[in-house]
Amino acid sequence: MEKTILLQLSKSAILANVKSETFLTGEIDKSVDQKAIALAYHEQAGNDAYQERLLSRGMETNLEELKTHLSDYLSSSGSSTADNIGSVEEGDIIKITLIVSDRFNTGYTNSLAKLSSKYIEEATIMDWWKPINDKRTSLYAQFVERDLAAIKRCFNKTAPVAPSYKYPTSLTVNGSAIDIGVGEEHTVTYAISDGAIDDIEVRIEDSLICQSGRSAEGFTVIGKQLGHTYIQLYSRHNEELNKTIHVYVTDQA
């Protein structure tokens, strides 16, 4: 069994977080070393057209990288092109459709969306700093690996749910006594509460006088020797739910 979940990521939010993080880092570097103004300029992802193109390309690349890590769960968007498998873009929103086990804890859907955004953000920052800051590139590479590990943990399956059954709450038997001859057969029919599983069994007080077995209609009673005994129909899951039927075996056959 499977179910479908939808992740929705905001492109503008991802880019805003990338710019905010790189700007803050550049400002810190300038405050530590006034000679680092040129370095800070390159560290900070700004709003000019060239930088916007670089950031957008980096974000798209890392989105595709994310999809490779989710490949076991990706659903085709219905597009005829492989580029669109697993995600579609509607304005600012990236929608990723995943097909997961029915034991997937849907409480993790929102976490998975946030972690996916975080992965793209931190991978984009890592790529931005690769040409200019080895130390921070290495740091963000660790962040990216941590994000991937957290994403994978979201797919841990919940424990199987024990099946539930509706057991009988009522038992109705047709008749309270039967008269049969030696070798004669009689079928005892019964009814249980609607929708319940049939867990009805039968026990015999004296198996020398009669014997019983299940039939398509209920239970068959066969007389073996003269005498009186009784059989009891009962629920295997609730022995308090039972009915007693007296059996009289006569010489009539």
The number of distinct structural domains making up the chain is 2
Q: Does residue 158 fall inside a structural domain?
A: no
β-bridge mates for residue 247, sequence order: 178, 229
pLDDT on residue 41 = 47
Q: Which domain holds residue 202?
A: 171-250
- Mean pLDDT, each 10-residue run in order, the chain (253 residues): 92 90 67 53 58 84 93 69 66 93 90 96 91 87 95 85 85 93 94 94 95 91 95 93 95 66
What distances in angstroms separate CA 204 from CA 7, 100, 102, 177, 207, one per listed residue? 62, 52, 46, 14, 6
- 3-state DSSP call for residue 231? strand
93 and 123 housed in the same domain: yes
pTM greater than the 0.95 cutoff: no
Last residue of a domain, one of 153, 183, 206: 153
In a domain, 162, yes or no: no
Q: Which residues of 207-236 are buried (b: 16+ CB within 10 A; e: fewer)?
A: eebbebeeeeebbbbebbeeeebbbebbbe
Tell me which of 123, 153, 183 is where a domain ends: 153
Q: What strand order describes the sheet that includes 177-181?
A: 177-181, 238-250, 227-235, 200-204
For residue 7, give every residue at least 6 positions away whose Cβ sits within 8 Å of its Cβ, in sequence order, or none.
95, 96, 97, 98, 109, 112, 113, 116
**Residue 176 and residue 146 share a domain:** no
Instruction: For residue 242, tell me if it sits in a domain.
Output: yes
132, part of any domain: yes
> What integer pLDDT is reported at residue 134 of this predicted model?
87
Please give the pLDDT value at position 78.
45
* Residue 135 and residue 24 in one domain: yes
